Amino acid sequence: MGVMAAVGALPAGAGTLPPLPTLGVPGVPELKPLTRYEAMRLGPGWSHSCHAMLYAPNPDGTGRWGPGPGRGSGRRMQMRFDGLLGFPGGFVDRRYWSLEDGLNRVLGLGLGCVRLTEADYLCSHLTDGPHRVVAHLYARQLTLEELHAIEISAVHSRDHGLEVMGMVRVPLYTQKDRMGGLPNFLANSFVGPAKFQLLFALKILNMVPEEKLAEAVATTQKPKKPVIDHAAIAAAKHANELAAAARAGNEYSDSGDHQAAELAEQQAAGLESRAVLEHLAAVPGHEAMVAELHGQPRADSVLEHQVGEAME
């Protein structure tokens, strides 16, 4: 019988029940626990979601926390259509189904060959958020062979590839880098209370020591070092090189324009001088004037004066 099933119904004449177990892991918001009896007494304004954790012991028979891969290989969750991790199951309409019948109906669509009973009931919690939802979790221990058979049948179920993208197994270990294994798994995105339910089940079923759960959760909450984007750095470096080349090209272009302007002025001055000399050649005694012109510091004024006298 499940851990919480024993207190699922309040015996006649019984007093106050002992406090229900809580998660108690720092960094994980606590959800309010309910007994099955309390959950069934909720009014029609409440919705009920039922999900199942199927698990199997390790080949060595331990089925609990271990030092590396291969440990905890039989804790099953699934990837949903929206990219979130969760347990198989769904909402149950209490008007037509009991919790177990509704859960088995949903499981039949996603798994195809497993049926749970009230003895597999584990816990109930009120969820956070604007909607009034109570989440029920069931847990069934199987053999690895049975779990493997369910994994095979799940691939051929109606919901595979539509509602369910595939099955995953929860790693119950932490690698030497303190991130590989359970911490990295917990860093994924989970639907609704699925992450809380996973941690709660691992604790209640004694699969992971509470201090290891706390360490795994704390590791996922530590700020990570920023990832160096080498491609962005290379692109920025290339952009800087292009900008520097453009600046150098502009400076070279400005210098070239200045040199071209000076050359044009020199050519214009040469043409003007040649025109003057050609005009003097037609004047008698131009040889003496040209010689005198070359000996004067201000050739333009001298030329004008001599030309004027010759014309007179």
Q: How does pLDDT run across 242-282, given as a tens digit for each residue?
A: 777 777 766 555 565 666 666 666 665 565 566 655 665 66
pLDDT at 114: 80
pLDDT at 308: 47
Instruction: Using the predicted structure, report yes or no on whether residue 67 has a pLDDT greater than 90.
Output: no
Instruction: Using the predicted structure, report yes or no on whether residue 16 has a pLDDT greater than 70.
Output: no
pLDDT at 304: 47
pLDDT at 291: 56
pLDDT at 310: 47
pLDDT at 191: 94
Q: Domains along the chain? A: 5-9+18-221 (3.90.79.10), 259-312 (no CATH)
| Alpha-carbon gap, residue 294 to 120, rounded angstroms | 120
pLDDT at 217: 94
Instruction: Using the predicted structure, report yes or no on whether residue 311 has a pLDDT greater than 80.
Output: no
Tell the burial category of 64 from Cβ atoms under 10 Å away from its Cβ (0-12, 13-18, 19+): middle
Higher local confidence (pLDDT), 104 or 228: 104
pLDDT at 73: 53
Q: Considering only CA atoms, give the Rg of the chain.
A: 44
pLDDT at 285: 60
| Alpha-carbon gap, residue 2 to 230, rounded angstroms | 52
Average pLDDT, the chain: 78
Instruction: Using the predicted structure, report yes or no on whether residue 151 has a pLDDT greater than 90.
Output: no
- Residue 72: which pLDDT band, with cuts at 50, 70 and 90? very low
Instruction: Using the predicted structure, report yes or no on whether residue 55 has a pLDDT greater than 70.
Output: yes
pLDDT at 287: 61
Instruction: Using the predicted structure, report yes or no on whether residue 107 has a pLDDT greater than 70.
Output: yes
- Residue 44: which pLDDT band, with cuts at 50, 70 and 90? confident
